């Protein structure tokens, strides 16, 4: 919107001269603000120097990232909201390979981050793909990998 206003910079004073009730003519400082390219909040954040984990030549062992974003929320309003939303996502400490073990279909309810419906969909999809391409389940002690080439997205009509 402001870039469009720059194209009509000369129009505002002429309009103010013709209409005595028009008093919203931008001043010189307003035009300077518009003409200078503004850095986004992300650009400002990325240009800032990195946080130092050293105090008195000793490395800090504790760093509270939520506290850092709370303190800097005035400077980075939008980024602090994004950081809060992202950092609020619960994480799991279970590796995916351990969760989806080739030997069994047991998924620990307390450590899995997937809903039961998603797990059911993934297991069902796995069964369908095995059936479609004639792949048999690996035995618990079978370590040989089986490579299956799936059709591309453009080829999905053949499924």
**Do 16 and 25 touch, CB atoms closer than 8 A?**
yes
Residue 120 phi, psi dihedral angles, 5° rounding = -65, -40
Distance CA 109, CA 94 (A): 11
Going from N- to C-terminal start, the domains of the chain cover 1-38, 40-89, 96-142
The pLDDT profile of the chain, 159 residues, written as one tens digit per residue, is 566 766 777 777 787 788 878 777 777 777 676 666 667 888 888 888 777 666 666 666 777 888 888 888 898 899 998 988 888 887 765 555 555 555 555 555 554 567 777 777 878 888 888 888 887 776 666 566 666 676 665 554 554
Alpha helices in 8-138 (DSSP H): 11-18, 28-35, 41-47, 65-71, 77-87, 96-99, 116-133
> Which DSSP letter does residue 59 get?
E
> Which DSSP letter does residue 54 get?
E
Distance CA 31, CA 13 (A): 13
Q: Which two tokens stand for residue 103?
A: 């030997």
Give the global pTM: 0.37
Give the number of other Cβ atoms within 10 Å of residue 79's Cβ.
17
């Amino acid at each position: 919107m402001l870039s469009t206003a720059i194209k009509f910079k000369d129009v505002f004073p002429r309009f103010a001269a013709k209409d005595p009730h028009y008093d919203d003519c931008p001043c010189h400082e307003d035009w300077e603000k518009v003409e200078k390219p503004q850095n986004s909040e992300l650009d400002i954040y990325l240009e800032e120097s990195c946080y130092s984990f050293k105090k008195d030549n000793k490395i800090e062992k504790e760093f509270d990232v939520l506290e850092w974003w709370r303190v800097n929320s005035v400077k980075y309003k939008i980024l602090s909201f994004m950081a809060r939303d992202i950092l609020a996502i619960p994480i799991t400490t279970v590796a995916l390979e351990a969760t989806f073990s080739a030997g069994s279909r047991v998924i620990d309810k307390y450590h899995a981050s997937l809903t039961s419906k998603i797990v059911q969909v993934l297991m069902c999809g796995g069964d369908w793909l095995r059936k479609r391409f004639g792949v048999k389940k690996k035995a618990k002690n079978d370590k040989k990998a089986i490579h299956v080439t799936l059709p591309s997205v453009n080829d999905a009509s053949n499924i």
